[in-house]
Structures are given as structure tokens and as C-alpha cells.
Amino acid sequence: MVDIALHARPQPVSAKALAVRHALPPRHLEAVLQALVHHGLLKGLRGPHGGYELARERRRISAGDIARAVLGTGAPGSTAASPGAAPDSLADLVVAPLVAEAAGAYLAALDSVTVEDLCGRAEAAQVAGPRAGPDFTI
């Protein structure tokens, strides 16, 4: 999301460019990008100059929004019973509520950080760097 926020102007950022820049398998990355589109955080644009751009302003997207979109129903703290565990087991009664509480605190902390904040940190650390080609350098 930060990469896209930093590089999506004047053209959207292609999934291929993201995969190359971050050494990620394109198949896995595409699934993550689609989850972000589905949750209204990214817009996918088709065509020869297509790619992805933010669906909202940087300051209106939190790291918590991103985590929820990417983690989906398997998010930390989901209260589903462990596979093979007996209902009302010790894990369900004692451990699951603790994990849910920790996950809530984790997401609350992420909610206080925006993509704008992260872009500022990246720019201050000079992570973004100049953009030499249409999509291929940070």
C-alpha cells in the first residue's frame, strides 16, 4: 500500500512492478491486491497502462484497515475453535479470549497509523527514492 501510495502517479502501479520491487511471488501478491480491492482500499485499473492505485486518500486508510483486508476471517483473535478441539475446551475458554483481546489491541494500534504516516516515514528514511522508469525502481 505504501509503495502504491508513493508511486501511483501519474500511472497506476502494476502488480508485476510490485512483485519485482519486493521480490514477491506474483500469484500470492495478486491475491493480496484483490483482497485490498474487495475491501475498497485499492482500485484496479485494466488495460495496457493499468495497475493499482489507492481508492481513498492516504490519510483515510489506516494500517488496521489494511490488516483486516489482508487477514480476512483468519485474522488473529478470531474465536473459531481449534481444529479437533473439543467444544468448551481449555483453549476455547481461556486462550481464545486472551488471543482475541491481544488482536483487538493490535488492530487498535494499527488503526492509529495511516498510509500518510507510513509514506512520511518512508520519505524521511529516503526509502522511496527517485522513480526511474514507469514502474521498476524504488
119 assigned to some structural domain: no
What residue ranges in 48-123 does DSSP mark as E strands? 51-54
* CATH code where residue 54 lies: 1.10.10.10
When pLDDT is averaged across residues 29-47 and rounded to a whole number, the result is 95
Give me the number of domains the chain comprises: 2
- How confident is the model over 25-46, as a mean pLDDT? 94
Residue 82: pLDDT band (50, 70, 90) is low
Q: How many helices (H) and strands (E) does the chain have?
A: 7, 2
- Residues 32, 74 within the same domain: no
The mean pLDDT of the chain is 85
- Residue 128 forms part of a structural domain: no
Q: Is 131 or 60 the better-scoring residue by pLDDT?
A: 60
State how far the alpha carbon of 116 is from the alpha carbons of 17, 31, 70, 102, 107, in Å. 21, 24, 19, 25, 17
Does one domain contain both 1 and 42?
yes
In this predicted structure, the answer to whether residue 80 has a pLDDT above a threshold of 90 is no
Residue at 130 is within a domain: no
The verdict on 31 and 48 lying in the same domain is yes
- pLDDT at residue 38 greater than cutoff 90: yes
Q: Kindly state the average pLDDT of the residues 119-129.
A: 82
Q: In terms of domains, do 16 and 42 share one? A: yes
Q: Which residues form the domain of 92?
A: 62-113
Question: Which grid coordinates belong to 134?
Answer: 514507469
Kindly tell me if the per-residue pLDDT of 28 is higher than 80: yes
Res 78 pLDDT > 60: no
